[in-house]
């Protein structure tokens, strides 16, 4: 069954995360986890672990402390284990996406891409709010940008094509669309920079920055872009 209280706490954690209140987000995620267990919401119990991965990744990004990425990897793997135990295909797909994000942070790019591929493979066979063209496009973008980070320059065009699919999807909220689109261009910027394509990296990061500046709600994204610009000298 779906826990309405758990979902409400889940959303509050997401809101806190976007405001950069990561400690508050972690506390809300723990509270949501307990409520999901009490209400027998197996899908929510698995999904909140993937949410924890995102918060821990953001803490790692902000502090530069890679121990948060280690914890995030464990949270992502726990999400997959729990989703498989529950037999909830949509959560299995999301958990593969979470592991992909964890692998990306520790620069295991090919493995990350494989997990995003798995999410893209499973998600269209599921029922629920995450089986949307926009979500699938977002995972496809991540798979391509990770392969770009692994040195496969042909994946630039794959990522750009997936960004067009995201733009045409029409089934994402305005917030989701801007987060995923700006994230896609950040991934392209990182990939092109890693391959020595500095001007292309600057171009893609500028697009990401323009999107992030268009919405006050994208506070963390703007901070991430500023960090990337400083790190890469862009």
Report the C-alpha gap between 26 and 197 in whole angstroms.
37
The whole-number pLDDT of residue 142 equals 98
The whole-number pLDDT of residue 176 equals 94
CATH H-level superfamily of 1-131: Tetratricopeptide repeat domain (1.25.40.10)
The whole-number pLDDT of residue 137 equals 97
Average pLDDT along the chain, 234 residues, taken 10 residues at a time: 90 91 96 95 92 94 93 96 93 95 95 97 90 96 98 98 97 95 97 96 97 93 92 85
The whole-number pLDDT of residue 13 equals 94
Q: How far apart are the first and last CA of the chain?
A: 48
Indicate the DSSP class of residue 233: T
Do 120 and 143 form a contact (C-beta atoms < 8 A)?
A: yes
């Amino acid at each position: 069954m779906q826990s309405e209280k758990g979902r409400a706490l889940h959303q509050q954690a997401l809101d806190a995360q976007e405001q950069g209140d990561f400690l508050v987000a972690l506390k809300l995620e723990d509270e949501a986890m307990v409520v999901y267990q009490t209400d027998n919401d197996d899908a929510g119990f698995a999904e909140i672990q993937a949410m924890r991965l995102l918060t821990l990744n953001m803490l790692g990004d902000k502090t530069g402390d890679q121990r948060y990425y280690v914890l995030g990897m464990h949270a992502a793997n726990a999400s997959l284990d729990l989703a498989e135990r529950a037999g909830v295909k949509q959560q299995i797909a999301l958990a593969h996406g979470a592991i992909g994000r964890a692998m990306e942070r520790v620069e295991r790019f090919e493995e990350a891409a494989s997990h995003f591929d798995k999410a893209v493979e499973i998600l269209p066979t599921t029922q629920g709010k995450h089986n949307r063209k926009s979500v699938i496009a977002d995972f496809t973008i991540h798979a391509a940008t990770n392969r770009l980070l692994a040195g496969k320059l042909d994946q630039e065009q794959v990522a750009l094509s997936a960004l067009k699919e995201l733009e045409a999807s029409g089934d994402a909220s305005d917030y989701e669309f801007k987060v995923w689109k700006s994230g896609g261009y950040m991934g392209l910027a990182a990939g092109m920079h890693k391959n020595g394509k500095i001007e292309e990296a600057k171009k893609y990061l500028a697009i990401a920055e323009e999107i992030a500046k268009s919405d006050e709600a994208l506070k963390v994204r703007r901070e991430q872009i500023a960090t990337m610009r400083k790190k890469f000298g862009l």
